[in-house]
A and B are shown apart, each in its own frame.
Chain A
Amino acid sequence: MKNAVAVLLMIIALDSVSFGDVLIIANKDVPETILSQKEVREIFLGKRVQWSDNSRIRFVVISNPELHSMFLKKYVRLPHVEWEIYWKRIVFTGRGMPPETINSETEMVEFISKKHGAVGYVSSGAKLENREIKIIGDQ
């Protein structure tokens, strides 16, 4: 029984660690310094489209399915399939454009550093030496 509890706790701990691995990063010109989980969700569901200075939000996602699913679970609180369905509903009713997909974390950092108003996410292991980006969410 003790072993079973220990294994369960270990699984929960590992899950918590993996949740903590997703960092929200943005172009340094973005006025916000920190985003809550709900604000990240609003942005990636296309509900909130402007930063507090009324500049355009450009959110991007990553093609890495593991990192993307982890991000969706932690911040958007949707399974990947439901996320796909949500954006089909938006796109096929003309209410928005789907987010651009970036191939790797290196490209994600590069894209966000160059694009005004851009926001995306990387794992905590990603190299973030670029001075043109900042971390605005690390729950």
Chain B
Amino acid sequence: MKRVIILLMTSVFGITGNSAAWDTDQINIHGFISQGFLITDHNDFYYADTRDGTFQFNEAGISFASELTDNLRIGVQLLSRDLGDIGNNEMTVDWAFGDYRYRNWLGIRAGKIKRPFGLYNRFRDIDAARTSIFLPLMVYDDIPRETYLATTGVGIYGYLPGRISYELQYGTVQMDTDGGSARNMEALSLNPISDIEADESYTAYAEWETPLEGLTLAGTLFDYPDTKAKIPLGEMEFTAKFYLASAEYLHGNLSLAAEYRYVPYKYIVNDRFTLRDQTGESWYASVSYRLTDWLTMGTYYGELYVNKDDKGGKGAETVGLPRASMWRKDLALTTRFDISKNWIFKLEGHMMNGLAQVTSPLNEASENWFLFAAKMTFTF
């Protein structure tokens, strides 16, 4: 895979390993590298050994982009990431696409394209692009990130009169047996998975800069790909649709945001038996304020419910799980230090209630727990 990527870069950009062969006027090269640390007082989170403290929390990426004509642009970004058992610093293509802009109101992209999903999904890899270390996890779940992150296919986008941006995408998603989406399916269906396959899916996104300066409203529909996986009983199918409503208000150094996520989903076994048919619901509200050029503070609070019609978690008890496995509430406080133009350091604490997305054995887990995160990032 790495050889294919290197060959691709060489052929597309004419990079030969000899820096003299680079035409830096034609190619834009940017990169970032982050190293973080996670520790919890109780419970392991996100398939990492957070109770003991872990450095298995990092990202590194490098992007190459070039304009071939006035309207045609190509680019690729390579990404390596680790979060506990997920990622393990395997190099992947984060995005790679050609982009033809026909008019202000219409452009076409083909390749692996970042998915618009709420306000912040497209740049969730980019630590330098936000105040907090973790985007609100109730809306931006980091476990199945590879599936949410991008569409491999085609998309159209543009900027319409009335200050409306839109984007439509159709294609496949990344779905691996050892990836985060498969892990989520195992956790929610209570079945081990040995194989997984996903159909094509579409995403629709629109964003409106309202007449009130600084206020942006957005809506997303992500038709999650119909996914089939092998389980001991036969075959299990997962279907879901994600609906997101988003609002952001920027005024000087103040940033406010709120998002709501509504997800009807089903697990069906062998085309007959409905294992689950319910709706997940989550939301958050956040505030961030830049006190000086080098110091920004932020906070957010949010709630996630695995089944909006069973917020108390009674259903969990019927399968021998604690009620708290059906929700998670998160109050986060974060501090960002812009040490220089290229270096950023962040500290963050999360007061948690509930066990959704907790990955240690749930019957031994503590309902109230605390997560501390620190992260250093370099970008160029």
Chain A residues at the B interface, C-beta cutoff of 8 Å: 38, 42, 47-50, 54-56, 77-82, 84-85, 88-89, 91-95, 97-98
Contacts and interface: CB of A to CB of B under 8 A. Distances in A.
Nearest to B253: A79
Given A88-B128, A88-B129, A91-B65, 7 more contacts: A77-B214, A91-B63, A93-B95, A93-B126, A94-B75, A95-B114, A95-B122
Contacts of B126: 88-89, 92-93
Nearest to A38: B163
Contact of B104 (A50, A81, A91): A50
Contacts of B67: 97
Contact of A79 (B61, B103, B290): B290
A47 B162 CA distance: 12
A85 B129 contact: yes
Nearest to A56: B70
A94 B125 contact: no
21 contacts: A38-B163, A47-B104, A47-B165, A49-B104, A50-B101, A77-B213, A77-B214, A85-B129, A89-B126, A89-B129, A91-B28, A91-B30, A91-B65, A92-B32, A93-B122, A93-B126, A94-B65, A94-B75, A94-B95, A94-B97, A98-B28
Interface string B72-104: 010111000000000000000001010101011
A97 to B, nearest CB: 6
Contacts of A48: 104, 159
A79 B338 CA distance: 14
Interface in B213-238: 213-214
Interface of B: 28, 30, 32, 61, 63, 65, 67, 70-71, 73, 75-77, 95, 97, 99, 101, 103-104, 113-114, 122-123, 125-126, 128-130, 159, 163, 165, 213-214, 250, 252-253, 290, 293, 338, 341, 379
Contacts of B95: 93-94
B184 to A, nearest CB: 24
A97 B65 contact: yes
Interface of B is mostly: strand
A125 to B, nearest CB: 26
A91 B31 CA distance: 10
A92 B129 contact: yes
Nearest to B107: A49
B289 to A, nearest CB: 12
Contact of B123 (A38, A56, A92): A92
A54 B102 CA distance: 9
A30 B84 CA distance: 53
Contacts of B290: 79, 81-82
A81 B338 contact: yes
Contacts of A38: 163
A56 B290 CA distance: 35
Contacts of A92: 30, 32, 61, 63, 77, 123, 125-126, 129
B129 A94 contact: no
